[in-house]
Amino acid sequence: MMNDKIGTKEKRQITKDWLSYFSEFGELKPMHLIRRNGAFLCGIYLQTYTSKVDYEPLFHISNLMVDSDNNAPSMSLGGITNLLNRKGARDRVRYIWHKEQFESYAERLKQQVSLLQKNTFDCEELVSYIKIARERFFDYSVYDFENIVLALFWCGKVTEAEKELESVKKIISQWSEDTWVIRHLGVEGWEQQVRQLMNMDTLKATVESQLQKYQLENFPDFQLNL
């Protein structure tokens, strides 16, 4: 009788299968695939739940220029796109269907995420993707905003980065005082924090430390074009 639960062995096989479809990605850990593009990571996370009978594929962006917590065991996820079905609802892959059908789910995720349709992309494509993903997956986190500003700065688009920073300040100034960023930093405090990061020597050093932290030094860099 076929096992219908996702355990350690099944996670290894699921990860191997998805890596065979997205061959430019590497394994960060079981059920989490990573591709490096310059100072950013593109990730495919195959999230399991307590029932252990299925998993939910999602795509994310992680920023190597930001180290929010030196002691955090996992990286921050932004620019999230959950796999959707034909009705526009979040979809999952039941393990009993995985072997025969995972490729169709992988292809559907690829078609829903522009950054999965090419190995290398430019700064404008990355920023555009993050903005679209944020509209679909809204929350009161500033992580995606920081990623947009720092992506533009990293690519030498300083004027554009300044414009985005001013635009974001107007957005978060309208947030409730109960939100974390307003309660703990305030608009001016957040701006100051971001501006402290806008230094190429600092950013390059952080990228290198993050690559070491997550043991990504040997992952190929598919580049982020200017």
d(C-alpha 114, C-alpha 126), whole Å = 9
Q: Is residue 3 part of a domain?
A: no
pLDDT in tens, 18-56: 999 999 999 999 999 999 999 999 999 999 999 999 999
Which range, of 35-44, 80-89, 137-146, 157-166, averages the lowest pLDDT?
137-146
Element (H, E) at 143: helix 143-154
Residues 111 and 203 in one domain: no
Q: Vertex 54, ends 49 and 57: CA angle to 5°?
A: 85
pLDDT given for residue 86 in this prediction: 92
Maximal C-alpha separation, the chain: 62
Residues 135 and 210 in one domain: yes
- Are the C-beta atoms of residues 156 and 226 closer than 8 Å to each other? yes
Residues 84 and 177 in one domain: no
- Are the C-beta atoms of residues 55 and 95 closer than 8 Å to each other? yes
Residues 152 and 207 in one domain: yes
pLDDT given for residue 1 in this prediction: 43
pLDDT given for residue 2 in this prediction: 56
Average pLDDT over residues 160-168: 97
pLDDT in tens, 82-120: 999 999 999 999 999 999 999 999 999 999 999 999 999
The model's confidence at residue 69, banded by pLDDT at 50, 70 and 90, is: low
Average pLDDT over residues 169-178: 93
Amino acid at 204: K
pTM of the model: 0.94
Residues 51 and 91 in one domain: yes
Give the structural domain span for 178.
121-220
- Are the C-beta atoms of residues 121 and 223 closer than 8 Å to each other? no
Q: How many domains does the chain have?
A: 2
Last residue of a domain, one of 69, 90, 116: 116
